[in-house]
């Protein structure tokens, strides 16, 4: 490895090739409970040519390469289990071009979503995908991330118009164009989005952006049961209301949220909702929505029209994971992430709650319910084998239940190492095809090895 490190120092300058123990440790883990493992070296490229040079070297010497964005992923995606080179994209953080008339933006992969939104605001635009962490756009594309707004605007795969990718052997390709539609060739953009660093390294992304809506309205609705909350979701979606976010938070999570943010929301299954549109249209939508939630036995319905109250509501939602983390010092969070057809959601969530309550673990349920996607947040002591076993059992039950209901083992967090064991069952013969594609694009198996494929 020493020879490779010397060669890397010829490609980048000395300061951007490091074996500093703090840096190795930082790149040995993500935000999950999965066991860390050190890379041999961490590099910080500044441009695509440097990324190409790094990969050409790695290809020649058959060294693993693990792309690293913010390290906020939740299934062990960035952990270098076979050592190698962790490629940190934090210095490739330029917003290259805003194209307001095309509703597009060109960015380097290390740009974070809040950094982008700050810039876009100057143009009256915003980028829609909002995972709870301030992740990089390269990492978000690589995991096909989504969040609270996908019910209206879609997931990361819907936003990526074009990618610039460095392949395993150092070749550089583009996967799309700036055109809104294309029937030309295979959909390589769709293939690379969600590939978790196993097919290539992104050096530039062209992304869709949207006009900031003229009016925004947020609301909170509480229900006697999760089932009634989900019934309300289905009615709202079928009514064609301009819903932009619709999130379910179960009663124990509301309790935690109240404690952490000093709020006093009623402790019951709750929907957090947001509507985007214009003043006149929203007024009608709001009245209609009130009727629909009342029909589902809603007990408390509050609108938050003021900017500050809306921000407080969504900040509380986005900080929920941290409410659990701060409330359980020394513990780590294990997050499950299935997505099922909405008609199956209430039963799936109710099962999950029962399985959590059968253990000694503390756990919450939150969901991007407009998409049928929900998470359980389980607090575990990573040094306690019983905690890990219990959490893994709950996860397994939830995943198998979701697969049986026609769902998927991961709605948005990705496979990493945590969901690897369900790939064959979920995809069947298609999983073999994925392996063949991986072997074609990465014949020496150097790109983020041990992820997605055992």
State how beta strands 41-43 and 85-88 pair. parallel
The verdict on 245 binding ligand FAD (CB under 6 A) reads no
Q: What is the DSSP string of 199-213?
A: S-EEEEEEEE-EEPP
400 φ, ψ to 5°? Answer: -65, -35
Q: Is residue 418 a contact residue for ligand FAD (CB under 6 A)?
A: no
C-beta closer to ligand FAD: residue 191 or 215: 191
Structure tokens at 55: 């990969």
Q: Per the structure block, which two tokens stand in for 261? A: 């943010």
Contact 10, 34 (CB under 8 A): no
Q: Which residues pair with 334 in a beta bridge?
A: 378
Among 39, 131, 176, 277, binds ligand FAD (CB under 6 A): 131
- CA torsion through residues 417, 246, 99, 124, sign: negative
State the Cα–Cα distance between residues 87 and 65, nearest whole angstrom. 7
Q: Does 449 interact with ligand FAD (rule: CB under 6 A)? A: no
User: Between 204 and 285, whose beta carbon lies closer to ligand FAD?
Assistant: 204
| 138 lines the binding site for ligand FAD (CB under 6 A) | yes
Whose Cβ is closer to ligand FAD: residue 68's or residue 374's? 68
Which residue, chain included where needed, has tokens 């494929």? 453
Contact between 106 and ligand FAD per CB under 6 A: no
Residue nearer to ligand FAD on the CB measure, 17 or 199: 199
CA distance 448 to 84: 9
Count, residues near ligand FAD per rule CB under 6 A: 36
Q: Which of 44, 68, 223, 374 binds ligand FAD (CB under 6 A)?
A: 68
Rule CB under 6 A: say whether 132 interacts with ligand FAD.
yes
Tell me the window of 38-46, 69-77, 286-294, 387-395 that interacts with ligand FAD (CB under 6 A): 69-77
Choosing from 143, 149, 270, 410, the residue that interacts with ligand FAD (CB under 6 A) is 143
Under the criterion CB under 6 A, does residue 197 sit at the interface with ligand FAD? yes
Tokens of 402: 């979701």
C-alpha 226/C-alpha 367 separation (Å) is 11
Quick one: angle between helices 226-238 and 345-357, nearest 10? 160
Q: What is the longest distance spanned by two Cα atoms in the chain?
A: 70
Q: Is 66 a residue that touches ligand FAD (CB under 6 A)?
A: yes
For 444, phi and psi rounded to 5 degrees? -95, 0
Tokens representing 90 are 């934090």
Give me the least distance between CB of 417 and ligand FAD, in Å please: 10
Contact between 274 and ligand FAD (CB under 6 A)? no
- Site mask, ligand FAD, residues 373-412, x = CB under 6 A? ---------------------------------------x
Q: How far is CA 130 from CA 31, 98, 211, 315, 416, in A?
A: 17, 19, 16, 12, 20
Paired tokens of 53 = 């040079």
Angle between the N-to-C axes of helices 226-238 and 279-295, in degrees from 0 to 180, rounded to the nearest 10 = 140
**324 near ligand FAD, judged by CB under 6 A:** no
- Using the contact rule CB under 6 A, the part of the chain among 66-74, 212-220, 240-248, 354-362 near ligand FAD is 66-74
For ligand FAD, give the closer residue by CB, 132 or 363: 132
Q: Ramachandran region of residue 172, left (φ > 0), alpha (ψ -120 to 50) or beta?
A: beta
Stretch that binds ligand FAD, among 125-133, 178-186, 238-246, 262-270 (CB under 6 A): 125-133
User: Rule CB under 6 A: is residue 67 a binding residue for ligand FAD?
Assistant: yes
Pick 282 or 321: Cβ nearer ligand FAD: 321
Considering the complex, what minimum distance in angstroms separates the CB of residue 285 from ligand FAD? Answer: 25
Interface residue list for ligand FAD (CB under 6 A): 30-31, 66-74, 77-78, 89, 109, 131-133, 135-136, 138-140, 142-143, 145-147, 196-197, 201-202, 321, 412-413, 448
């Amino acid at each position: 490895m020493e020879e490779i490190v010397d060669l890397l120092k010829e490609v980048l300058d000395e300061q951007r090739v490091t074996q500093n123990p703090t840096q190795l440790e930082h790149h040995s883990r993500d935000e999950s409970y999965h066991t860390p493992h050190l890379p041999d070296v961490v590099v910080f490229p500044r441009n695509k040519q440097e990324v190409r040079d790094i990969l050409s070297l790695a290809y020649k010497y058959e060294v693993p390469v693990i792309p690293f964005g913010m390290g906020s992923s939740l299934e062990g995606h960035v952990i270098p289990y076979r050592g190698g080179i962790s490629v940190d994209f934090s210095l490739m953080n330029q917003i290259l071009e805003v194209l307001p008339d095309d509703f597009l933006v060109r960015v380097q992969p290390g740009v974070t979503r809040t950094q982008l939104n700050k810039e876009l605001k100057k143009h009256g635009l915003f980028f829609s995908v909002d995972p709870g962490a301030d992740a990089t756009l390269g990492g978000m594309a690589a995991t096909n991330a989504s969040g609270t707004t996908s019910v209206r605007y879609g997931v990361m795969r819907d936003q990526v118009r074009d990618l610039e990718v460095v392949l395993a052997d150092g070749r550089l390709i583009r996967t799309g164009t700036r055109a809104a539609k294309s029937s030309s060739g295979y959909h390589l953009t769709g293939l690379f989005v969600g590939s978790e660093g196993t097919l290539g390294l992104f050096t530039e992304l062209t992304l869709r952006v949207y006009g900031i809506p003229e009016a925004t309205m947020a609301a909170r609705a509480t229900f006697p049961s999760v089932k009634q909350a989900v019934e309300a979701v289905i009615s709202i979606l079928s009514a064609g209301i301009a819903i932009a976010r619709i999130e379910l938070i179960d009663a124990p999570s509301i309790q935690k949220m109240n404690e952490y943010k000093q709020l006093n929301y009623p402790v019951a299954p709750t929907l957090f909702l947001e509507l985007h549109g214009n003043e006149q249209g929203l007024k009608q939508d709001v009245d209609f929505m009130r009727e629909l939630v009342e029909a589902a036995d809603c007990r408390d319905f509050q609108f938050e029209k003021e900017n500050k109250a809306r921000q407080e509501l969504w900040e509380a939602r986005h900080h929920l994971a941290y409410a659990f983390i701060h409330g359980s010092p020394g513990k780590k969070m294990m997050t499950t992430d299935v997505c099922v057809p909405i008609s199956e959601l209430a039963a799936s969530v109710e099962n999950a709650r029962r399985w959590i309550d059968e253990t000694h673990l503390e756990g919450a349920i939150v969901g991007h319910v407009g998409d049928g996607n929900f998470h359980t947040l389980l607090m575990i002591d990573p040094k306690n084998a019983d905690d890990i076993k219990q959490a893994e059992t709950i996860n397994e039950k939830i995943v198998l239940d979701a697969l049986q209901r026609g769902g998927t083992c991961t709605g948005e967090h990705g496979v990493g190492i945590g969901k690897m064991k369900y790939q064959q069952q979920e995809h069947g013969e298609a999983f073999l095809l994925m392996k063949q594609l991986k072997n074609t694009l990465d014949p020496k198996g150097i790109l983020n090895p041990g992820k997605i494929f055992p």
